[in-house]
Amino acid sequence: MSAAPEAAAVVVPKPAATLILLRDGAAGPELLMLKRSGLSDVLGHAFVFPGGKLDAADLDLDPATALDEDAAALARRLGEADTEPALAAGLFVAAMREAFEESGVLLACDPSEAIAADVGALVRTGSTFADALAECKVRLASSQLLPFTRWITPVSSLQAKRFDTRFFVARAPRDAQARHDGHETTETAWMRPRDALERYWAGDIALAPPQIMSLVELAPHVDVASALAAAAHRAPPLIQPLILKSGEGSMLCYPGDAEHPVTARAMPGPLRLAMRNGRFEPVAGFDSFFE
Tens place of pLDDT for every residue, the chain, 291 residues? 334 344 557 788 999 999 999 999 999 999 999 998 755 555 668 899 999 999 999 999 999 999 999 999 999 999 999 999 999 999 999 999 999 999 999 999 988 888 999 999 999 999 999 999 999 999 999 999 999 999 999 987 556 789 999 999 999 998 888 888 777 788 999 999 999 999 999 999 999 999 999 999 999 999 999 999 999 999 999 999 999 987 778 899 999 999 999 999 999 999 999 998 889 999 888 999 987
Rounded CA-CA distance 273/260 in Å is 13
Instruction: Mark whether 173 and 288 lie in a shared domain.
Output: no
Instruction: Mark whether 278 and 196 lie in a shared domain.
Output: no
Q: What's residue 159's pLDDT?
A: 61
Max distance between CA atoms of the chain, in angstroms, equals 71
- 1, part of any domain: no
How far, in Å, are 34, 53, 139, 253 from residue 47 at the CA level?
A: 5, 17, 29, 22
Q: Which of 240, 263, 278 is a domain's end point?
A: 240
Say what angle helices 85-103 and 71-78 make with each other, to 10 degrees: 90
- 168, part of any domain: yes
Instruction: Mark whether 233 and 251 lie in a shared domain.
Output: no
Q: What's residue 2's pLDDT?
A: 37
Instruction: Mark whether 248 and 232 lie in a shared domain.
Output: no
C-beta atoms surrounding 194 within 10 Å: 17
CB-CB contact of 22 with 227 (8 Å):
yes
Domain limits at 273?
A: 241-291
Which DSSP state fits 181?
Answer: -
Torsion of CA 198, 201, 203, 208, to 10 degrees: 100
DSSP for 67-127? BSS-HHHHHHHHT-TTS-HHHHHHHHHHHHHHHHHHH----BSS--HHHHHHHHHHHHTT-
Q: What's residue 6's pLDDT?
A: 47
Say what angle helices 113-124 and 85-103 make with each other, to 10 degrees: 90
Q: How many domains does the chain have?
A: 2
Q: What phi and psi values does residue 70 have, to the nearest 5 degrees? A: -85, 170
Instruction: Mark whether 263 and 191 lie in a shared domain.
Output: no
Rounded CA-CA distance 49/81 in Å is 26
Instruction: Mark whether 98 and 222 lie in a shared domain.
Output: yes
Instruction: Mark whether 114 and 125 lie in a shared domain.
Output: yes
Report angle CA 137, 143, 149 to the nearest 5 degrees: 130
Q: What's residue 4's pLDDT?
A: 39
